[in-house]
């Protein structure tokens, strides 16, 4: 067995783990390892067939998310907010229908779905 020693160990390649690795790498610290038990990165952020499961939207008060998206070059767009919407909390609960208030600021979504953020965070790490 080969022993690997790193200054930093990041548990999980979800949004928090990849963001931590991104900022370490950006600050010039490269002596870290990311440990992930799944066969994919992203943690609770999953996109299948163009549908986001997990984190999907954000608003203007999520300033750190917006700054990170800008730094990574991930575009955002206003989420459609007119008319009726449906929200499904789980497959075990009935769907929840609601009418959006057109006077409230709309939320944003990421162009390319939430997985675009995960891939943008991981890209510089893959080049390392």
pLDDT given for residue 75 in this prediction:
96
Predicted confidence (pLDDT) per residue in 106-121, tens digit: 789 999 999 999 999 9
Q: No. of H helices and E strands in the chain?
A: 3, 8
91 vs 108 pLDDT, higher one? 108
Please state, in angstroms and rounded to a whole number, the distance separating the CA atoms of residues 21 and 111. 23
Confidence of residue 81 (pLDDT cuts 50, 70, 90): confident
28 vs 5 pLDDT, higher one? 28
pTM of the model: 0.81
Longest dimension (CA), the chain: 61
Predicted confidence (pLDDT) per residue in 51-71, tens digit: 888 778 899 999 999 999 999
């Amino acid at each position: 067995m080969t022993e690997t020693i790193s200054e930093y160990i990041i548990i999980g390649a979800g949004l928090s783990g990849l963001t931590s690795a991104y900022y370490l790498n950006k600050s010039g610290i490269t002596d870290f390892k990311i440990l992930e038990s799944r066969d994919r990165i992203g943690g609770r952020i999953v996109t299948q067939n163009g549908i986001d499961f997990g984190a999907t939207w954000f608003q203007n008060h999520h300033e750190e998310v917006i700054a990170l998206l800008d730094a990574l070059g991930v575009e955002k767009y206003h989420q459609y907010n007119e008319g009726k919407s449906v929200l499904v909390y789980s497959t075990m609960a009935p769907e929840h229908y609601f009418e959006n208030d057109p006077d409230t600021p709309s939320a944003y979504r990421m162009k390319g779905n939430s997985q675009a953020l995960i891939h943008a965070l991981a890209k510089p790490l893959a080049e390392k």
